[in-house]
Structure 1
């Protein structure tokens, strides 16, 4: 995967995480667990650009794997039957899909 494609995918991930964070702020009565996962993802999303700039593939792979795990946990909470908005569920699903897709293409 070339540097330009990595940057493009990172941008898509940051956008998806940002949308999930926006949905988070609009949602009431969210489980603390889901709130924590999305906040951690938002912080990690901010670090991606720094790590990509270092061109350290191992760190990129690890960060994306860590983010995908958090995204998977967030998605599981969204699928647990809690009364969450469609916007929240959609944002988390999109974010998780972006992370999985990027993770698969990194390997």
Structure 2
């Protein structure tokens, strides 16, 4: 995977996490666990630019693996039957799918 494709995919991930964070702010009665996962993911996206500047593939792989784990946890909470909006569930699913897809292409 070339540097330009990595940048493009990371940009898509940043956008997907941003959409989940926006859905988070619009959601009422959100479980603290889900809020925490999405906030952590949002903070992780802030590190993407710094890691890209280092051009360290191992750090990119580690960051994406860590983010995918948080995304999986967020997705599990969304699928637990809690009364969440369709927008929230969709944003979390999209975000997690982006992370899984990128992680698979990195390995």
Decide: shared fold, TM above 0.5: yes
Distance 1:96 1:49 in 2: 20
Distance 1:48 1:91 in 2: 20
Distance 2:52 2:78 in 1: 30
Matched residue count: 107
Distance 2:84 2:57 in 1: 36
Determine whether 1:8 maps to 2:8: yes
Gaps of 5+ in 1: none
Determine whether 1:80 maps to 2:80: yes
Distance 2:76 2:52 in 1: 28
How big is the alpha-carbon RMSD for the aligned residues of Structure 1 and Structure 2? 0.3
TM-score between the two structures when normalised by the length of structure 1: 0.99
TM-score between the two structures when normalised by the length of structure 2: 0.99
Q: Which runs of 4+ in 1 moved over 3 A?
A: none
Q: How does 1:21-60 map to 2 (within 5 A)?
A: 21-60=21-60
Gaps of 5+ in 2: none
